[in-house]
Structure 1
Amino acid sequence: MQVSLSDTGGLSRRLEVAVPATEVAREVQQRLKRLSRTARLKGFRPGKAPLTVIAKQFGDQVRAEVLSDLVRSSFAQAVSEQKLRPAGGPRIEPIAMGPETDLKYAAHFEVLPEIRVNPPERLAIERPASSVEETDVDAMIENMRAQRPVFTPVDREARDTDRVVFDYKARIGGKPFEGSDLTDVRIVLGTRQAMPELEAGLRGVRAGEQRIVHAVFAAAHPNKKLAGQSAELHLSIKAVEEHSLPAVDDEFFRTYGVEQGGLAEMRAEVRKSMERELAEVIRGRVRTQLLDALYRDNPIELPRALIEEQVQELQLDTARRLGIRDASRLPRHESFEEPARRRVALGLLMSQIAQSQGLKADRERVAARLTDLAEGYPDPEEARRAYLRNPQAMRSIESAVLEERVVDFLLERARVTERRTSFSELTGFGRSPAGEDAPHQHEPRHDPQYEPQDEASGT
């Protein structure tokens, strides 16, 4: 096999490979012989057809398979001999593939860059210093009360924070449509749960009242038949319910899984949950700063193939997260370029650090990580077995563990200063108005699915 390597600029390479015609012919003959032992041809017993007949019937197909396999194997061999590290699959340019000639082709590809990581002592990180205060626990319990509202029927006009219960019949051009009639619809006024026209139409209603509201379905409505359509909404008001917060008592504690110990136990459980989140947020902030600093301090040339691969992954992630099926509605390619470059660069840098420092995903850390993940499922032991049966999932865990080891290695050497900050500033708790961007609940234990309490029904 003859190999010729040329640098075509940057990280691009051109590898020209020639495989002797004798080797191609020998492999074709061997495969035809193997095929002749099992081939079923009309007029011949199984495995008894002459080789010339087999070659005439299957020769072109076998030769195509041989050429494909030889290109793959010879490229891998050539890359190994030349000590190259391809950044992705090659683009194959056929040069000669005739039946009587050597197999010749050119492979165009990119190689991984040579990476020299600057000393981690150059990295400067600011670690947030914070703690959970009693006032933070007070605010969290108030938030938890807000997540368990009590709605009580009242005989007055509906206003903001009231819940209105009604039946609903929508008509477009005087005609019903699929899903146009609904019963026992519940909307809390002032929370922007419904079309603006509908919410405005519900203000001031009383139980037993009938009302007609004119509205326009949003242009981006998921049902394209309704998008932008004007509709007439016939409302039959069944109840107006006043919003109030539940008492901080044993019944309230039980809704959050605290069966004994009263307020003191509730506060202790809430504090533990908040402290766990605080530790995770601090760790996340420090990690992000560290990786940003590593990226800025170590500029490297990146293979275009890896960037494109990451751009596609980011696009698919965005589509899944937003429920987008139409590729034309995805954000522009350029908006993913910098995040993709960052991902690729950090992956290469951290891989180099792990290799140079001999860092590995040791069994103990992998096992601990697996246990933590499994504990998040109703049946931890079954979840653990499922992970162990899934090689891809285990590789993902090992990769995460190795990444954490690299982060720990860098943090031990980086210049870290502390900045005092509050729990609310660090976590964002309490910044959003109620009913809009609701803050996280810090439930002390597993909580059943939320259903507002209803004094009238006793639930």
Structure 2
Amino acid sequence: MQATLETLEGLDRKLRIVVPAERLEQGVEEKLREAASQVRLNGFRPGKVPMREIRRRFGEGIRQEVGGELMNESFLTAVQENSVEPAGSPTIEEVTLAAGADLEFTACFEVFPELTPGGFDSITIERPTASIEDADLEQMIQSLREQRTVYEPVERAAAEGDRVNIDFRGVIDGEAFEGGTAEGADVQIGSGSMIPGFEEGLTGCSAGDTPSLELTFPDTYHVDDLKGKPATFEVKVNSISEAKLPELDDAFFQEFGVTEGGEAAFREEVRGNMQKELDGAIKNRVKQQVMDGLESTTEVVVPKALVNGEIDHMRADMAQRFGGNQQIDPSVLPAEMFEQQATKRVTLGLIVKAIVEQAELSVDDEEVRRTVEDMASSYENPEAIVSFYYQNAQQMAQIENMVLEQQVVDHVMAAATVVDVPMSYEEATKPPAPEPIDEADDAEADAAAADEDAPAVDEGDSAPGDGGEGAQKED
């Protein structure tokens, strides 16, 4: 075999490979003899089909098959001999695959960039420092109670905070419009879920009342045909219910897995979960700053093949997560939607990989175990979750990558300038702008599916006014 490597612009490389005709023909003859011993043709006994008939029927297909195998094999050999590491699969061009002739082809591909990360001491990290105050604990307990609010019917006029069940019909210039009619819709007064004036128009009404509301859709409304339009809503009030928060009793505590110890144990459990949330939020903030610092201090030429591969992965992920029961073709999602984030992911992945090699880091098995146990501790059956992870090679690979990435963060932090910034619990745990779900999120989501006893996350009550979209305010 002969292989000639040509360095093109940037990361692009071209290999011209020639495989001797003898090797190609030998492979073809071996496949033909194998086929002759197995093929069944009418008019011939098994294993007695003449070779000329085998060659006539299957020769071209077998030549293509053998040629493909030799191209794969010779390409891998050539890149090893030339000490290059392809970033993605090659594009095969200029193929010569004829009887009696050498197999010749050109493989075009990109290589990984050579990186030398450094300058970590120029990175400044603002590390939040926060603690859980008594007021934070009380606010969290109040929030947990509000999540489990129940509504009880009352016979009085509707007031702020009440849930009012209504039928309504909206018209514009005397004509009904799409989404402007609903029956049995729940509207919580003061929630801001309806267009301006709607909830205010229900205040003071009692069951059986039929107010008429003259309102105007905001200029910023999400339905273009309704923006700025005056509308009349004829409403019938069916019932009124007021919110009742659950008492801090044993029944309430048990909903959070606290079966003994009363309120003191419940408060300790809540504070412990808040501390986990705080620790995780600080860790994520620091990690994000480290990654941003690495990206700004390391010049990286990113292989297009890797970016395209990441785009395909993100497309498929979005199609699966948001397609519901529909089978969405990922290719209908524009690549431009994902290009910036995909490029960032690939860039940081290359930098992290380079730091791992440069610092000779390896996965800390003890930290992997602690991470798995910590992730499993939030479920009702943590032993089952730990077992799930350790029996799933893909999930374990994701966690090992996550741990190794944290080791890179710690390595960079040792050289970076770290400034502690005091802030409140609320400020420290405020979620950042949403980004595509990463592998760690995938791992935890799959684990949740494996735990049949895992409690569902309580998202609170559904938004009032779901029955009549045409009267709802845009979020």
Would the TM-score normalized by the shorter structure come out above 0.5?
A: yes
Match of 1:369 among 364, 368, 371: 371
Q: Aligned equivalents of 1:315 and 1:121: distance in 2?
A: 37
User: Structure 1 residues 388, 247: CA separation in 2 closer, same or farther (over 3 Å shift)?
Assistant: closer
Which stretch shows the higher mean deviation, 297-306 or 25-34? 297-306
Check conservation: 1:17, 1:106, Cα contact below 8 A: yes
The corresponding residue for 2:274 is 274
Q: Aligned equivalents of 1:416 and 1:392: distance in 2?
A: 35
Q: Aligned equivalents of 1:349 and 1:182: distance in 2?
A: 57
1:137 and 2:104 are equivalent in the alignment: no
How much has 1:203 moved relative to structure 2?
4.9
The corresponding residue for 2:238 is 238
Q: Aligned equivalents of 1:197 and 1:320: distance in 2?
A: 39
Match of 1:351 among 333, 350, 353: 353
The corresponding residue for 1:16 is 16
Q: Letter of the aligned partner of 2:68 in structure 1?
A: S
Check conservation: 2:164, 2:189, Cα contact below 8 A: yes
1:339 and 2:361 are equivalent in the alignment: no
How do 1:63-142 and structure 2 match up within 5 A?
63-142=63-142
How do 1:198-217 and structure 2 match up within 5 A?
202-209=202-209
Match of 2:422 among 420, 432, 438: 420
The corresponding residue for 2:146 is 146
**2:239 aligns to what SS in structure 1?**
strand
Which stretch shows the higher mean deviation, 360-369 or 89-98? 360-369
Q: Aligned equivalents of 1:375 and 1:358: distance in 2?
A: 31
How much has 1:336 moved relative to structure 2?
3.5
User: Structure 1 residues 220, 318: CA separation in 2 closer, same or farther (over 3 Å shift)?
Assistant: farther
Q: Aligned equivalents of 1:219 and 1:65: distance in 2?
A: 60
Check conservation: 1:91, 1:108, Cα contact below 8 A: yes
Where do 5+ consecutive residues of structure 1 fail to align? 222-230, 430-444, 453-459
Aligned-residue sequence identity (percent) comes to: 35
The corresponding residue for 1:440 is none
User: Structure 1 residues 451, 414: CA separation in 2 closer, same or farther (over 3 Å shift)?
Assistant: closer
User: Structure 1 residues 451, 238: CA separation in 2 closer, same or farther (over 3 Å shift)?
Assistant: farther
Where do 5+ consecutive residues of structure 2 fail to align? 224-230, 432-453, 462-475
* TM superposition score normalised by structure 2: 0.77
Q: Aligned equivalents of 1:151 and 1:192: distance in 2?
A: 18
Check conservation: 1:365, 1:401, Cα contact below 8 A: yes
How much has 1:100 moved relative to structure 2?
2.5
User: Structure 1 residues 160, 412: CA separation in 2 closer, same or farther (over 3 Å shift)?
Assistant: same
Q: Aligned equivalents of 1:73 and 1:17: distance in 2?
A: 11
RMSD: 3.9
The corresponding residue for 2:465 is none
Check conservation: 1:256, 1:447, Cα contact below 8 A: no
How much has 1:260 moved relative to structure 2?
4.2
Q: Aligned equivalents of 1:197 and 1:58: distance in 2?
A: 78
Deviations 1:238-286 (A, max 9, x none): 3211235445455554544444444433332222121111111111111
Deviations 1:340-395 (A, max 9, x none): 22211211111122123222224333333333344444443443443344332222
Q: Letter of the aligned partner of 2:300 in structure 1?
A: I
Q: Aligned equivalents of 1:428 and 1:192: distance in 2?
A: 22
How much has 1:85 moved relative to structure 2?
0.5
Q: Letter of the aligned partner of 1:359 in structure 2?
A: L
1:360 and 2:358 are equivalent in the alignment: no
User: Structure 1 residues 316, 190: CA separation in 2 closer, same or farther (over 3 Å shift)?
Assistant: farther
How do 1:309-328 and structure 2 match up within 5 A?
309-320=309-320, 323=323, 325=328
Check conservation: 1:255, 1:447, Cα contact below 8 A: no
Match of 1:394 among 380, 393, 396: 396
Q: Letter of the aligned partner of 1:13 in structure 2?
A: R
Q: Aligned equivalents of 2:369 and 2:457: distance in 1?
A: 30
User: Structure 1 residues 386, 41: CA separation in 2 closer, same or farther (over 3 Å shift)?
Assistant: farther
Q: Aligned equivalents of 1:9 and 1:448: distance in 2?
A: 52
Q: Aligned equivalents of 1:200 and 1:168: distance in 2?
A: 15
User: Structure 1 residues 258, 413: CA separation in 2 closer, same or farther (over 3 Å shift)?
Assistant: same
The corresponding residue for 2:472 is none
Which stretch shows the higher mean deviation, 91-100 or 101-110? 91-100
**1:206 aligns to what SS in structure 2?**
coil
Check conservation: 2:147, 2:458, Cα contact below 8 A: no
Which stretch shows the higher mean deviation, 368-377 or 104-113? 368-377
**1:418 aligns to what SS in structure 2?**
strand
Q: Letter of the aligned partner of 1:50 in structure 2?
A: P
User: Structure 1 residues 380, 66: CA separation in 2 closer, same or farther (over 3 Å shift)?
Assistant: same
Check conservation: 2:379, 2:455, Cα contact below 8 A: no
1:33 and 2:33 are equivalent in the alignment: yes
1:300 and 2:300 are equivalent in the alignment: yes
User: Structure 1 residues 251, 397: CA separation in 2 closer, same or farther (over 3 Å shift)?
Assistant: closer
**1:187 aligns to what SS in structure 2?**
strand
* TM superposition score normalised by structure 1: 0.80
The corresponding residue for 1:436 is none
Q: Aligned equivalents of 2:263 and 2:283: distance in 1?
A: 30
Q: Aligned equivalents of 1:68 and 1:389: distance in 2?
A: 36
How much has 1:157 moved relative to structure 2?
3.1
Q: Aligned equivalents of 2:456 and 2:322: distance in 1?
A: 27
Check conservation: 2:88, 2:109, Cα contact below 8 A: yes
Deviations 1:316-353 (A, max 9, x none): 445555559476985770x5333222211211111122
**1:413 aligns to what SS in structure 2?**
coil
User: Structure 1 residues 45, 370: CA separation in 2 closer, same or farther (over 3 Å shift)?
Assistant: farther
How much has 1:116 moved relative to structure 2?
0.9
User: Structure 1 residues 255, 371: CA separation in 2 closer, same or farther (over 3 Å shift)?
Assistant: closer
Q: Aligned equivalents of 1:83 and 1:127: distance in 2?
A: 42
